[in-house]
Structure 1
Amino acid sequence: MEVKLIMFNKALFKLEWKTNYKILIIFCLILIMYTTIIISMYDPELGSALEVFSKSMPEIMAMVGMSGTPDTLVDFITEYLYGFIMIVFPLIFGIILSLRLLVKKVDNGVMSYLLSSGVKRTTVWTTEMLVIVSNMFVLILFCTGLGIICSQIMFPDKLDIFVYISINIGVYILHLALLGICFMCSSIFNEYRLATLFGAGFPIIFILIQMLSNMEGSMEWLKYMTILTLFDSNKLISGNNEAYLMLGGLAIIAIICSIIGAVVFKRKSMSL
């Protein structure tokens, strides 16, 4: 009775996790590689090897958010891992899941079978949303733990764990907003190609705009054209209250997109 009240299908949730866990593992492995390599390049005494690249190729490094001169380990990890890598790879993961969990089922007819079995549209949508949100939570939680463990092994007591956790909470909220956009498009469209065009297109455009704005100069104003600006790792590190207000903005975007997606999916016409 409780499952029905919260519009959640436990069997479908378990099935989706069983079907998609390999994708999660692949992205965990990719991020293991990047995290361990980047943390190992930190040298508290001599500076990092990545700073050499920043000085030799400043424009390219700035485009991917790697233009600072970090002093502490948490600054270093945030600059070189959370400026680009921890945004792009979880985003790709989220796009793949968003498309697989909803619009692909509509496009290939699986949704017709699922709904004809007596499961309501709202229940399907809510369950699939919980699947993708929980997958992203596990991915970010894994990366958080990995970063802490690697830092403690390589550079004992050098990492400000509280600040590092706050950065990861921030990046998770950012990805909830991006997931909201992707899943909204997956909810609106019946064709896989259209959902891919818009669901992947908007976040990719945000990334490209962010890369251009990072070059500063005449392009700096572009940062106001992307929601990625609402995740400001430097303000989170310094404990600036504005950073939390910006994360609140991302949370609102995630909620609004989710509501729109849920309403449209419930009411739209599908070939069943």
Structure 2
Amino acid sequence: MALPQELLLSDLLKLRVRCDQGLEHGAGLVGWMHPPVHRLLGWASKPSAFGGRRLVWRLNQLRGLSELEAMVDGEPAETDQSILDGLPTLFEAALTGAEGTVLGSVVDAAVELRTGRILHYLVARSDPRLPGSSRWRLTPERIVDQQPGRVATALVGLDDLPLARSSVRQQLLRRSRRWRDQVSEETSRLRGQFQQVGDRFEERLEGWLEEPPWQDAGEDPADSRRWDEPEFPEPEDRRSRRPRDLDPLDDWEETDWPEPDPPEARPDARPRQRQDPEPDPWV
């Protein structure tokens, strides 16, 4: 398998080393670097679970990568754990901010495999061995000073660095922030639509209130006929002769109507029979 252009040191240390003779030399243990120039020189592997024997491989000996193995060419340099512990390194160093407070620790690095140049470091706030913890990118240009076990920067907090990998908590916070922003945008949009509908309704209502209810649309108010004016006006001479205060019932003649006949004079009337009062039962 061809080598990628860049690789995380943690991914390289997970692979088991196999040489060109087909022998396996154990998994990676620690990186070997030169801190002043921020360059990775190689890495060390642990061939056996027992003993302090360690094998150091140069980065230019790497020939290929597979899913579980790293193929190398040539012989390694043998050493022990005490010598590896004395090598200068920035890995697992404490990262301090502008006020000297500890912000996290340097736990990983992205390396250009062709030259060994460290592109950026990865910083963890908590224990890097915890699964799902966040990682922030720290470029070498942001490092102000470096000492054994300490890397000084001018950062106020880790939020000043770009986030390389978010933890479950960071993902929940980011998703909740994004959902809150989306809900706020949707609420603002709906509020604007309701405001537009309300303004249109208010304009139409004001227009309806200004127009008379008896006037049709497009009708000229000067041509509209008043309801109290008659359709066919009387002639001027008749209106002048008719007194305004005259009651039409004053000219009523009662003799014009015949009086009704009494009941006795009607031919179909029957004589009334006098009825005696009922006798008193006590007499």
The TM tier, using the shorter chain, reads under 0.3
Structure showing the higher helix proportion among its residues:
1
TM-score of the pair, normalised by structure 2: 0.21
Q: Determine which structure has greater relative contact order: mean sequence separation of CA pairs < 8 Å that are 6+ residues apart, divided by chain length.
A: 1
Q: Which protein has the larger Cα radius of gyration, Structure 1 or Structure 2?
A: 2
Greater share of residues in strand: 2
Q: TM-score, normalised by structure 1?
A: 0.22
